Amino acid sequence: MEHIFSSSIGKKLVMSLSGMFLMIFLIIHAGANALALFGREMYNEVCHFMDTNPVIQVMVPVLALGFVIHILYAVWLTWSNLKARGVQAYAVGTKTQASSWAARNMFVLGLIVVGFLALHLYHFWAKMQLQHFIGGHASDDPYSLVAALFRQPLYVAIYLIWIGALWLHLRHGFWSALQTIGLNNSKWLARLQTIAMIYASVIALVFAAVPLFFLLGLDGGN
């Protein structure tokens, strides 16, 4: 166990496996968000389902725990590297990886992602699903919460910056995670990078579509 936390491969394995919790969370979250494009009734129904379904209520804390581990381990690993070798990102496996801007700045990108995610959770999750966990009063109209916030240009601009950071973080993190767990031969490298590009781009586009939908008034002002 000690070897896992002290070796270079072990450190990358922990980051990769914990990062997969974020990837799964984003797929679920992006899918739910996209339903806002189809109207108030559908979005409110899926929010109610996610707020009250027992499976989702168990899944959310599990995914959140994995995400928290990913964040805390990244902070600890970066701090350890700063003390040991000076200012640099945590170790990457090859010169090709190290030459990538995203690879060299994964921690900074991660901070941007986490910072906005905290703001996003405050505006939405805290008023919706969290209330079901603590026995409070959840919003009866989540669609209105989303619409009101995404009609604000400043918030949308910040949201789009977050999406850009998320795209860069996912594009590198996705294929790096799969490579770490064993899919690391030369035949698979190009495939993993393509899959990572597709995954990160789809997630980013879905997340971007929702705020732009409301900002541009495509919802008809409803």
- The tens digit of pLDDT for each residue in 58-115 reads 887 787 788 788 778 777 777 776 676 654 444 444 444 434 676 777 778 788 888 8
Highest mean pLDDT among 50-54, 73-77, 103-107, 127-131: 50-54
Q: Environment class of residue 49 by beta-carbon count within 10 Å: exposed (0-12), middle (13-18) or buried (19+)? A: exposed
pTM > 0.85: no
**Binning pLDDT at 50, 70 and 90, where does residue 205 land?**
very high
Given a cut of 50, whether residue 209 has pLDDT beyond it is: yes
Given a cut of 80, whether residue 221 has pLDDT beyond it is: no
pLDDT at 89: 44
pLDDT at 216: 94
Average pLDDT rounded to a whole number, residues 31-43: 92
Which residues contact residue 90 at a Cβ distance below 8 angstroms, ignoring those fewer than 6 apart? 11, 15, 74, 77, 78, 81, 106, 107
pLDDT at 3: 52
Q: Which CATH code is given to the segment(s) 2-215?
A: 1.20.1300.10
- The tens digit of pLDDT for each residue in 135-187 reads 677 778 889 989 999 999 999 999 999 899 889 888 877 777 766 666 566 67
pLDDT at 59: 82
What angle, 0 to 180 degrees and rounded to 10, lies between the N-to-C axes of helices 40-52 and 54-85?
80
3-class secondary structure, 18: helix
For the chain, the structural domain boundaries read: 2-215
